[in-house]
Structure 1
Amino acid sequence: MGLLRFIVERKILVGLMVVLVMLIGTNAVFNLDKELMPSVTMDGGFVEINAGEMAAIEVERTITTPLEQKIQGIDGVESIDSTTTVGRANLQMTFESGKGDEVFKEVERVVNAASSENAAIKDVQSFQSGGTQSYEFYMDVSGKNMQEITSFAKNILAPRLEELPEVRDVALVGALEHEVSIELNREELTKNGLDASQVIGAIQQVNQEATLGELSQDADSPSLRWNTKLESVKDVENINIPVPNGGFIALKEVANVTLQPVETSSFVWKNGTKDFIFVQVGRVADVTQIEMAESVRAEIENIRGEGLIEGFELNEMVAQADYVKESIDGVTSNILIGGAIAISILLLFLRNIRATFIIGLSIPTSVLLTFATMWTLDYSLNILTLIGLGLGIGMMVDSAIVILESIYHKKEQGLTKLDAVILGTKDVSTAVIASMLTTIVVFLPIGLLGGDMGKFMIMLSAVVAITLISSVLVSFTLIPSLSEKFLKLRNVKKQTKEGPMIHAYSSVVAWTIKKKRHSLAVIALFILMFGGSLALVTKIPMTIMPDVFNRYAELMVNLETGLTLEKKEEVVEEINGALASVKDVETNYIMDNGGMMYTIINMTKDDEITRDQKEVNDEIFKVLRDLEESQPIESVASAMTGGGGYPVQINIKGEEFEALQTTADDFVRELEAIDGIVGVTNSIERTSPEEVVELKQDAIEEPGLSPLQIRSFIEQSFLQMPVGEMTIPDETVPLAVKWAEATDSKSSLLDLKVPTPEGEKPLSTFISLENVHAPNEINHTDGERFLSISADIEGKDLGAINREVQKLIEDFEAPVGYTVSVAGDLEQQQELIKDMIFILAIAIFLVYLVMAVQFNHLGHPLIVMSIIPMTMVGVILGLFLTQRELSLMSGMGIVMLIGIVLNNAILLIDRTNALRKEGYTVPDALVEAGKNRIRPIFMTTLTTVGGMLPLALASGTSGNYQAPMATVIISGLLFATFITLLLIPAVYRLFTTTSFSFRWKKKKKAGTKEIEENPAPIN
């Protein structure tokens, strides 16, 4: 009371504090970083190992398994998954929370040690989760011949962009690259008594540059340098090779030396056409996408202004900064519209411009206070923090409305300005604080949400909490000060007359609580509605996380191993044709990344849109996965955040490949029988042919040879060895030694002549080849081998399929030692459901705790919480009617809804208890409390709904995230208001009657006191 009086009497201080908040908040708005998703440190890491062309089974035995065993021994590593393919091992690790940096350093040390000990490992890359390794700005260069655009990209564009402080690196895909090819002639080498190793040694000895020493006695002490670096193809041709019989022979006598394009260069196609360069720009870790995009675009304009882009085109393809800006602009616009709707609703109810102005002024003050706090906590403006702010906008006027309405009511009773402000605020202060706490505490269990997703959700929750706390602070300072100064009664006589709506509501409540059976009938009606709504749950679509990108997709099309460039081009033509048939697909870019085609798809925008993005995405996956039957395509998966891979993934764990395959075949037959399951494949089906060398031991030993010599001869027959590099105008090119006649078939290998003491003999004398099929992909989880079954969904949502697949797994009988479990999206969905149920339970308990403290009663909180299950009726109806997906975001909306819907019930119960203390009977108190609180309840509900309505109707980049959450809150809150006004009086009356009857029977049994047949009203 004293603090409130101090605040009201120090209006100048309050005004100056508001000005300070506005200045700091405005500064924060312009200085907060802007990004698509918040930058959080993930507790995990990845390791990619390249082992040349080694068979997958050998990579598993010699690289993957030993490395897994060492990594599993590191303290802080929770789990490790690996995928082993031909010549490659990919490991993904999860670390204990908070130990990411420390554990990753130890993982890097172990991996580097393994790389140095194993000569089969050609290259190792390791990186920590949550970094900025990916590229976020894409361009293409086209128009002139490849030589000219390559020269521009390499010598002008890439260097200029890499000089920018915001740019980490620039990668060029499809740029023309050359090598000096040295093709050895087998016959000429044999004639001159040479072998490939002697030629390679001679080239490396010549192509050198080094500092030999320093001439310290001469002026300036110049260093003495040796430089015999090769500078042209002619220099390479004239390298002298020493021959066994003395003298030298020029390299050109035994080899053909040419400068030619590198066959293994990466290629990129745009709508099926080649001959252009794909430019990828990466940003440094401490700048945002928008900052990098602005810097890059400015530098591009400088390059254009200097006349360096003439005769060809430099086009911007995709910039994630645009999605960031679109998201922020969209949510900001929705917040402003929501605020305007909330103020309009206030004016409609209050019909008092002064009162509306007072509450309206609290909105920007609360928002700017929220921004100032976010700036202090080093939060950024991203899709999650803005959604949190947008959700808070609708609720931030609730406390202001309740306090202002209470002050207004006191003025109507004839109190002085100061007394009306102080007593009006005091009457509802407990309820306002309790309402805020019940809304905030429901977010505390969000920290228990497992995995990296929990880190994102905590940030959203924190912003909502900050928004609500800010609004309550403003409500207890600004609202009383302005009300004492400016608030006036509109018309006292008209205000005292009871309106028809309040009169009708009072009659309904009076009937409900008149008799016990009436209250039971109302409760039974709501229970029936709840039970009936559960039948609609299976008809609500389900997913994990909505798609964050708007009209854009990135895919990974994994190919079979060993495809030639010509075959890859055929596959690209088929992919381009399939994508061109999909309506609303505008352009596609396909990048050759070894055994994987990385595909970027742009869709039509604005007025050209004819169908929803989800429909486009679904058809893209369908047409590409249909190609798996006719093309060497192993799988198609999403490469974007928020989605990935096939929606249905099943893991079968076990040791033996044959038993895994048999178990998988049995399971697949039953899986394919499920309606809605299409395109079933399993990872062990994806095999590649191999020729296994069988040694003829007797034939090898007869001329005095050894198996090691035969192996060395075979390895040298596939010679493709880099022996250095040299610089030619505008380019540094590698030197590569290879055979003029490639060994590219079984017959060409077996016909090779092996030198022996008895003369040359064909290789077929010493070996034979056996054709086998080896798995292309071997998967491990925590060191245990498993087979992965993948399938697509057609005509059903993930939730419906999940239930049928789970039943199949429960009924399926796997062999002893083999287990079947869901993985991928299904596993994530099941874990998410479990986490959300646990979070809801903890949130409900915390809400009960807050109310028990407020009411100082264990029973009254149960009355308030009786509306929670009934609120789900509104949630289910809202999702069913709008067909919004039940996802993590809508789950967050349900958690938030629990805190919101209880606010109205708290107001009603708090007022009822206060009236009982004044001497009202329970029925009279319930009717009067309803009449007193119906207006603020309707006002807070409709302003919250109005504030969130633009979020529920939003589309585009941010709409997929905010619309499901807002839909849940709006539908649940509207239904909860109806429940609160009717169900709470019924439950309260039933509870107090039952409680009184229990006490009466207890006293009668103990004989402590005579109880009248018609007891006095309960107070």
Structure 2
Amino acid sequence: MMKIPSWAVKKPISVLMIVAIILLLGGVSLSRLPMDLLPKMNIPVAVVNTQYLGAGPYEVENLITRPIEEAVATVHNVKHINSTSMEGSSIIVIEFNQGTDMEFATLEIREKIDLIKRYLPEDILQPIVLKIDPNALPIMTLGVTGDDLEKLQEIVEYRIKPRLERLEGIASVEISGGREKSVAITINPTQLEMQGISQEQLMALLRAENINLPGGEILDDRKYLTVRTVGEFQSLEEVKKLPITLPMGQTAKLEDLVEINFQENDSLQIAKINGVPSIRITMQKQPTFNTVQVANGVYTEMTKIQEELNNIQLEIVTDQSLFIRRSISNVGKTAGLGGILAILILYLFMRSIRNTLVIALSIPISIIATFTLMYFTGLTLNLLSLGGFALGIGMLVDNGIVVLENIYRFREKGYSPVNAAIHGAEEVAAAVAASTLTTVAVFLPVVFVEGMTGEIFKELALTVTFSLLASLGISLTLIPMLSSKVIEIKEKRAHQLLNRVEENFKKANRFYRSILEWSLGHRGVVMTVATIIFLVSTISLLWIGAEYFPEFDEGTFTISISLPHGSRLEDTETIVNQIEEILRKNEDIDGIFTNIGGGDDYYGGFGRRSNRGSIDVRLKPYRARGKETAQVIDEIRWELQAIAGADINVANLSFIGVGFGGETVEVEIRGDNIDVLQEISEDFMKIIDSVEGTREVASNFTDGRPQLELYLDRDITSSYGLQTMQIASTIRNLIQGVSATRLRIDGKEHDVVIGGENYLRESIGNFIQIPIPTLAGGNVPLEQLVEYRISQGPNVIRRSNQVRSITVKATTFQRDMNSVIKDIEGKLMSYSLPAGYSYQYRGQKEQLQEAYSSLVLAVILAILLVYMILATQFQSLLHPFIIMLSVPLAFSGGALGLLVSGIPLSIPAVIGAIVLAGIVVNNGIVLIDYINILRENKIETKEAIITAGTTRLRPIMMTTLTTVLGLIPLAMGISEGSEVQVPLATVVIGGLVLSTPLTLIVLPIVYSIFNDFAVYISNRRKKK
């Protein structure tokens, strides 16, 4: 490394060619680097889904959920097991420790389930084991509007959906909200019985008539002809005119026996855009593809579709790529602004454009070189990697400043440009390398950080590492080479502003000298003040609060509506319309997208719920509204309280929240009895709701749907020769209807549904009069065969780690998570839980505790690594210890920075503290190293300290100001997507602002104290 500058100065063409290659490869790499909001995350979660049709929640829990839970609990690396038992379905979510190979984990789960299959009910469907991949979540939702919803459904299904499915990177396309028609055959079972024919016979007849069958081959005139019997109905009229042979030998047309017509199916879902009925298209991408690239393909295809189909309107409902583009663009602009401010500081100190440009070139070249390294290591352009650029942009010039200043010093001594460049760069090469390594070394412990925190910040660490290593290479090659050609040693006539800056710096230097001289005479006072500052800043951490991760402001939120079970779709739509009216009055809202009727939860929305609805709200861009999403949400939340008859929940809709620990507040209550758990959860909800700052307090317990239970009198049914299956089938076919066949008209298929008349469903009195056919050929009313009662049980039974549980959740507003949970804990301590019941915090609180335990280890490892590198450089165990005292001073500044800015302590802030540990020691290295050089030249300790301090003040101020000003745009957080970088940048800025002046004063004092102690020990030994 010592000889690299010499080679670079003597081979300028080679250096330029290497730089050109770096620029070329970097440009190509940048064009191919995928863009995403966050790094690709590996969430080690698997789901076991098992269907057991007809079984209730209790039966599903006992017969399926419990045995599978016990089996998968023995799989390696299992962290948590959560299950949901609902009517006809069991969903078991297995969370593994971070780093688990999910391919092997899912294989082992299947093996464990295979071992217990013989103990499971015979009529269950095959259990399905799936991995949860956050990269495969829906990335875009489109809304399609037009005049005729029925024709629109056909256009979307047959013309738009296939084209979108063929796009590269699209995994699946789902449609909801349309209208479909079917052929409805409505029967009156009593009248049909009078004709001597049953619903089952009618259904079998339709299926037998509506069919095409091959009949083999025949030989005609020495040619083989394929025989094909064509019996499929060609029109609705053909169905109506179908002759039916009655038992008495007569023949009747089907339309004479039943009512036949086309009708719209009852809507399972209703989709609307700004109040206009629409069809919703939801798209998922393949996990290996990039969000922005896939979205670009969709936009291109949308433009073509809109040009071809000008009678419809396509509108973006949600699009992850929009926030990704804006966020990455904003971070890029912020990094560029930081670079400009850093270069401006260089110019003010160097007073020469040529000298400034020599160093400024290290910024873009280092960044472009980093693009190449990112491409070959599989990184992406995202908020964290670009945040790494913005974080390191001020540090990229530090090495160049040290090298250039030393070269300039040699030129002032009379060395030729070439010799000055060689000797000046070689003299500081080892120090520059050690300084860079101390900064890079702090990122190594991030590898040991477990969980989602490590997954996210590894890319930031690698980006900063790559850029700093590239900067080191540039400072030892390109800068010496350029210095030998273009460096100025005589100052030209400077601008008046530059002269004023120079005069002010000289005044600051004289003031610093006087402060340093006074401090050397009052060392006890200085150390006491430094200790007080450290203690006060440490205590301030108790005031600022804590949270797991800052909430992203994507400008979207969702309103979830839940009516009592059994409510009709029309009732839900009425409530939704009231909410839409309130939303339209809000000037900050840009779009309202409604979906009525939906599944129960994320992992298993099996079946539709007519009592559920959701509204996705898109706000205007941040600068156009001037309010944070959380403020708009709180305003809307209070307005919606006036609507009665439904549970309404308003929450921030974030596509990037997957994996960030769930809700802000999650209290999981565990025990055996569902009723007791429900009572406790209701008490907990009242307690949590009484805490200041909590919003949307709710539990995940849901009452079951009211159901009419029929109990057969087996003595009576057996006398008629009836079995349970026969009775249940008759009831289902008449009430729910059954698809007998499909009718193809104009290339489109329609279901032919046979069902009973509506009066059978209009009351219990009518329902129990349903005639049940007997083996003797007659009918018997249902009321003579059964007893009935209306009941209601739990709709879902949830379990956590094989124990029943109910979770109470809440969000927070204008308060940090830690403060809210402390208040909740204070109130819950006085709550007396029944024996055998307990509670614990889940969600972000649990994630925060896990992350902090890993990050504390990372901080300790970072400090030890930095100390070891310094000890290697100084060949001393004492001097590195002195330099490392700047680290706690920096932590003090970081804590005070959070306090002043009102930002809670979070994972990004702790990462900022780790980064800070590597940055602040550089100033100490520069200072202590020069003191040692002067001491080696026999200069007295006090004079060496003062001389080194005043001499190194300029480079220390330059490196500090370039880093701080480079981070100020990032810390201001005035753009979308800056939530992660703001705490990190604030900690680094606060640490540097406080630690730099303290380093310039405290470290020399500590150096003198240790030196005096060493002299004292030496004198004691001489006396002995």
What is the TM-score when the length of structure 1 is the normalising length? 0.89
In structure 2, relative to structure 1, the CA distance for the partners of 1:143 and 1:706 (3 Å cut) is: closer
**One of 566, 569, 572 as aligned partner of 1:565:** 569
Q: Which amino acid aligns with 2:613?
A: M
| 3-state SS of 1:84 partner | strand
The yes-or-no answer on 1:1010 pairing with 2:1013 is no
The answer for the alignment partner of 1:1006 in structure 2 is none
| 3-state SS of 2:232 partner | coil
The answer for the alignment partner of 1:100 in structure 2 is 102
Distance 2:222 2:406 in 1: 94
CA contact (8 A) 2:388 2:464 kept: yes
* Between 588-597 and 283-292, the greater mean CA deviation after superposition: 283-292
CA contact (8 A) 2:547 2:904 kept: yes
Q: Which amino acid aligns with 1:344?
A: L
Cα deviation code 1:243-284 (max 9, x no counterpart): 55667665434432322212144211223x242222334434
| 3-state SS of 1:958 partner | coil
Structure-to-structure mapping, 1:986-1005, within 5 angstroms = 986-998=1005-1017, 1001=1020, 1003=1021
The answer for the alignment partner of 1:1017 in structure 2 is none
**One of 714, 718, 729 as aligned partner of 2:746:** 729
Distance 1:869 1:43 in 2: 36
CA contact (8 A) 2:738 2:754 kept: yes
| 3-state SS of 1:359 partner | helix
CA contact (8 A) 2:665 2:810 kept: yes
Distance 1:133 1:656 in 2: 37
Distance 1:235 1:992 in 2: 108
* Between 432-441 and 196-205, the greater mean CA deviation after superposition: 196-205
Distance 1:734 1:520 in 2: 91
The answer for the alignment partner of 2:881 in structure 1 is 862
In structure 2, relative to structure 1, the CA distance for the partners of 1:822 and 1:222 (3 Å cut) is: farther
The answer for the alignment partner of 2:496 in structure 1 is none
* Structure 1 position 472, deviation (Å): 0.7
Q: Which amino acid aligns with 1:530?
A: F
How many pairs does the alignment contain? 998
* Structure 1 position 346, deviation (Å): 0.2
In structure 2, relative to structure 1, the CA distance for the partners of 1:182 and 1:108 (3 Å cut) is: farther
| 3-state SS of 1:527 partner | helix
Q: Which amino acid aligns with 1:34?
A: M
* Between 682-691 and 784-793, the greater mean CA deviation after superposition: 682-691
In structure 2, relative to structure 1, the CA distance for the partners of 1:622 and 1:476 (3 Å cut) is: farther
The answer for the alignment partner of 2:737 in structure 1 is 720
The answer for the alignment partner of 1:345 in structure 2 is 345
Distance 1:644 1:570 in 2: 35
| 3-state SS of 1:394 partner | coil
The answer for the alignment partner of 2:474 in structure 1 is 474
**One of 551, 554, 561 as aligned partner of 2:555:** 551
The yes-or-no answer on 1:156 pairing with 2:159 is yes
The yes-or-no answer on 1:11 pairing with 2:12 is yes
| 3-state SS of 1:275 partner | strand
Structure-to-structure mapping, 1:211-610, within 5 angstroms = 211-213=214-216, 223-239=226-242, 250-271=253-274, 273-306=275-308, 308-310=309-311, 312-491=312-491, 499-514=506-521, 518-540=522-544, 542-548=546-552, 550-554=554-558, 556-557=560-561, 560-580=564-584, 582=586, 584-592=588-596, 593=598, 594-595=608-609, 596-605=612-621, 608-610=624-626
* Structure 1 position 370, deviation (Å): 0.8
In structure 2, relative to structure 1, the CA distance for the partners of 1:734 and 1:102 (3 Å cut) is: farther
In structure 2, relative to structure 1, the CA distance for the partners of 1:1010 and 1:954 (3 Å cut) is: same
* Between 941-950 and 550-559, the greater mean CA deviation after superposition: 550-559
Distance 2:143 2:951 in 1: 67
The yes-or-no answer on 1:631 pairing with 2:631 is no
| 3-state SS of 1:39 partner | coil
| 3-state SS of 2:94 partner | strand
The yes-or-no answer on 1:847 pairing with 2:848 is no
* Structure 1 position 660, deviation (Å): 2.2
* Structure 1 position 513, deviation (Å): 2.5
Structure-to-structure mapping, 1:655-804, within 5 angstroms = 655-668=672-685, 670-677=687-694, 679-684=696-701, 686-696=703-713, 711=728, 714-716=731-733, 718-729=735-746, 731-741=748-758, 742-743=760-761, 745-754=763-772, 761-794=780-813, 796-804=815-823
CA contact (8 A) 1:691 1:771 kept: yes
CA contact (8 A) 1:177 1:265 kept: no
In structure 2, relative to structure 1, the CA distance for the partners of 1:641 and 1:54 (3 Å cut) is: farther
| 3-state SS of 1:872 partner | helix
The answer for the alignment partner of 2:35 in structure 1 is 34
The yes-or-no answer on 1:924 pairing with 2:931 is no
| 3-state SS of 2:977 partner | helix
Cα deviation code 1:899-941 (max 9, x no counterpart): 1122212222222233323323332332222122211111011
* Structure 1 position 847, deviation (Å): 2.1
CA contact (8 A) 1:911 1:929 kept: yes
Distance 1:219 1:599 in 2: 69
* Structure 1 position 226, deviation (Å): 4.2
Q: Which amino acid aligns with 2:477?
A: T
| 3-state SS of 2:81 partner | strand
Percent identical pairs in the alignment equals 27
The yes-or-no answer on 1:612 pairing with 2:628 is yes
| 3-state SS of 2:1023 partner | coil
CA contact (8 A) 1:683 1:777 kept: no
Distance 2:714 2:845 in 1: 53
In structure 2, relative to structure 1, the CA distance for the partners of 1:497 and 1:300 (3 Å cut) is: closer
The answer for the alignment partner of 1:969 in structure 2 is 988
Structure-to-structure mapping, 1:178-197, within 5 angstroms = 178-197=181-200
Distance 2:87 2:649 in 1: 13
| 3-state SS of 2:185 partner | strand
In structure 2, relative to structure 1, the CA distance for the partners of 1:661 and 1:146 (3 Å cut) is: closer
The answer for the alignment partner of 2:916 in structure 1 is 897
Structure 2 portions without partners, runs of 5+: 494-498, 599-607
| 3-state SS of 1:775 partner | coil
CA contact (8 A) 1:690 1:773 kept: yes
The answer for the alignment partner of 2:46 in structure 1 is 45
Cα deviation code 1:974-1001 (max 9, x no counterpart): 1121221112112222233334445655
Cα deviation code 1:154-176 (max 9, x no counterpart): 33322333333344443332222
CA contact (8 A) 1:200 1:737 kept: yes
Cα deviation code 1:124-183 (max 9, x no counterpart): 876533355433233322241223333332333223333333444433322221222232
CA contact (8 A) 1:637 1:644 kept: no
| 3-state SS of 1:277 partner | strand
Distance 1:753 1:238 in 2: 27
* Structure 1 position 704, deviation (Å): 6.5
Distance 1:439 1:228 in 2: 80
CA contact (8 A) 2:545 2:818 kept: yes
Q: Which amino acid aligns with 1:259?
A: F
Structure 1 portions without partners, runs of 5+: 1004-1008, 1012-1019
* Structure 1 position 28, deviation (Å): 1.7
CA contact (8 A) 1:555 1:640 kept: no
* Structure 1 position 655, deviation (Å): 1.7
In structure 2, relative to structure 1, the CA distance for the partners of 1:659 and 1:169 (3 Å cut) is: closer
| 3-state SS of 1:440 partner | helix
Distance 2:548 2:318 in 1: 26
Distance 2:252 2:579 in 1: 51
Q: Which amino acid aligns with 1:16?
A: M
In structure 2, relative to structure 1, the CA distance for the partners of 1:327 and 1:635 (3 Å cut) is: closer
| 3-state SS of 2:1001 partner | helix
**One of 648, 655, 663 as aligned partner of 1:640:** 655
CA contact (8 A) 1:172 1:278 kept: yes
| 3-state SS of 2:193 partner | helix
In structure 2, relative to structure 1, the CA distance for the partners of 1:267 and 1:118 (3 Å cut) is: farther
The answer for the alignment partner of 1:1014 in structure 2 is none
CA contact (8 A) 2:71 2:116 kept: no
Cα deviation code 1:173-229 (max 9, x no counterpart): 222212222323211332244433333333333333444545699988665444433
In structure 2, relative to structure 1, the CA distance for the partners of 1:935 and 1:559 (3 Å cut) is: farther
| 3-state SS of 1:674 partner | coil
* Between 14-23 and 552-561, the greater mean CA deviation after superposition: 552-561
